Chains A and B, each alone.
Chain A
C-alpha cells in the first residue's frame, strides 16, 4: 500500500478487549430492548400504560446511547449536567403541548 511508509512512526496499541466487549454488550441491550418493544407492540392493547412503557424503554435506550456510545457518562460532571439540565425544557414542552392538543380535541369533537 502507498501509505505504508508512515506506519513506521506510529505505535499502534493492541485492541482494548474489555472495552470492545462492553460496547457489544451495550449493543446487545439496545437490540434486546427493541425486541421487547416489538413484543409489547403486538401483545398489549393501546392505552396510556402502553405509551408509558414505550417512553420508559426509549429513555433507557437513549441513556445507553448517550452514556456509553457518546461517552457522556465519563465526561466531566459539568459537561454532563450542561447537556442534561436543558432537556427539562423538552419535557415541559411535551407535557404542555400534548395537554393543549387534547384540549383542542375536546373543543373540536
Chain B
C-alpha cells in the first residue's frame, strides 16, 4: 500500500506493496489473458489467410459471380441476406448491423465503467443492462446468420456446379471450397462463444451491482476488468469483419 510505504520512508521496491506496471493484479492478469487470446484468434485468422491464398481467387465481374468449388467465394455474394427480406440482395448489410450492435454495446460498457468510477450504482445498472441487451442481440443475429448459412439460399442459381447441395456443413457447402464453410464455423463460432461468455460475465457483474456487492467493496473494479474482456470481443469482431467479410 502506498500509505504504508510513506509511513516508513526508506524501503525499496523489493519490500513489496507497489503494483508492477501501475495496474492492479486483476487488471494485469486480464491484459495478459487477452494477449494469449489475441494470439489464438490471430492463429485462426492467419490460417484462414493461408488457406484462402492457396486457393484460386475469383477473377471477373462481381455481377457475373457464380458459386463454384474451384475458387474462393467473394464474401459479399455469400452474405447478402437480411431477416424478413428473403430473396432481396443486400450484401453485407446484416453483418454491418451486427458490427454496429457490438460497437454500441462496447460504448455502453465503457459508460458503465465510467459510472463505476463515480460509485453511481444506478448508472452502472442502467449501462450494464444496455450492454447485456447488445450482447444478446448480437448472439441472436449470429444464430440467424448461422441458420441461414447452414440451410442455404433458396434461389436455384446458388447451387454449386455438379452437385445439388444446399447450404453448408463441415464437409460440403454450396458457396465454394469445403474449407470456406469450415473457417466460417470455426472463426465466427469461436468469436460467438466469446460473446456468450462475455454475456454471462456481464450478467454476473450486473447481478453483483444490483445486490450491492461492489458498493460494499468500495470500488467497481470488476466492471473494469470484465469491460476489458468485452472490448476485446468487440476488437476481435473488427478483425473478423475485415478479414472474413470485407477482404
A97 contacts B74, C-beta separation under 8 Å:
no
Q: Is the Cβ of B21 less than 8 Å from the Cβ of A3?
A: no
Main secondary structure of the interface of A (DSSP, over half): helix
Contact B54 A101, beta carbon cutoff 8 Å: yes
- Chain B residues near A37 (CB-CB < 8 A): 242, 246
A34 adjacent to B53 (CB under 8 Å): no
What is the CB-to-nearest-CB distance from A63 to chain B, in angstroms, rounded to a whole number? 10
From residue A12, how far is it (CB to closest CB) to chain B in Å?
5
Nearest B-chain residue to A98, judged by Cβ: B49
- Contact A15-B118, Cβ < 8 Å, known A41-B246, A93-B46, A98-B53: yes
Q: How far is the CA of A49 from the CA of B28 in the complex (A)?
A: 38
- Contact between chains at A23 and B235 (CB < 8 Å): no
Distance between Cα atoms of A34 and B119 in the complex (Å) = 34
Instruction: Select A34's contact among B43, B76, B91, B96, beta carbons within 8 Å.
Output: B96
Decide if B235 touches A66 in the complex (CB within 8 Å). yes
Residues of B within 8 A of A (CB): 21-23, 28, 31, 35, 38-39, 42-43, 46-47, 49-57, 62, 74, 76, 91-92, 96, 99-100, 103-104, 106-107, 109-111, 114-115, 117-121, 123, 210-212, 215-216, 227-228, 231-232, 234-235, 238-239, 241-242, 246-247
Chain A residue at minimal CB-CB distance from B211: A3
Contact of A38 among B49, B96, B118, B216 (CB under 8 A): B96
Subset of 17 A-B contacts with CB under 8 Å = A15-B118, A19-B114, A23-B110, A31-B103, A41-B246, A50-B247, A54-B242, A54-B246, A58-B241, A62-B235, A65-B234, A69-B106, A79-B31, A82-B31, A90-B42, A97-B50, A104-B50
Q: Are A75 and B22 in contact (CB under 8 A)?
A: yes
Residues of A within 8 A of B106 (CB): 27, 65, 69
B212 touches A79 (CB 8 A): no
Asked if B231 and A65 make an inter-chain contact with CB atoms under 8 angstroms apart, the answer reads yes
> Using Cβ atoms and an 8 Å threshold, which residues of chain B touch A61?
238
Residues in A neighbouring B51, C-beta threshold 8 A: 101
List, in ascending order, chain B residues with CB within 8 A of A97's CB. Answer: 46-47, 49-50
Q: Which residues of A contact B211 (CB under 8 A)?
A: 3
A10 touches B119 (CB 8 A): yes
Please provide the chain A residues from 85 to 109 with a CB less than 8 Å away from any CB of chain B in the complex: 86-87, 89-90, 93-94, 97-98, 100-102, 104-105, 108-109
Residue of A23, A58, A104 near B238 (CB, 8 A) is A58
Partner of A82, one of B21, B119, B231: B21
Residues on A with beta carbons closer than 8 Å to the beta carbon of B39: 89-90
Do B121 and A7 touch (CB < 8 A)? yes
Q: Inside 8 A of A90's CB, which chain B residues have their CB?
A: 38-39, 42, 46
Q: Are the C-beta atoms of B231 and A69 separated by less than 8 Å?
A: yes
Shortest distance from the beta carbon of A9 to any chain B beta carbon, whole Å: 8
A20→B239 contact, CB < 8 A? no
User: What 1/0 mask marks residues of chain A from 40 to 79 whose CB sits below 8 Å from any chain B CB?
Assistant: 0110001000110011011001100110111000011011
Taking a contact as CB atoms under 8 Å apart, the answer to whether B53 and A62 are in contact is no
Of B23, B42, B62, which contacts A79 at CB under 8 A? B23
Whole-angstrom distance between the alpha carbons of A12 and B56 in the complex?
Answer: 60
B92, B106, B115, B238 — most chain A CB neighbours (10 Å): B238
Given contacts A23-B111, A62-B235, A75-B22, contact A105 B31 (CB under 8 A): no
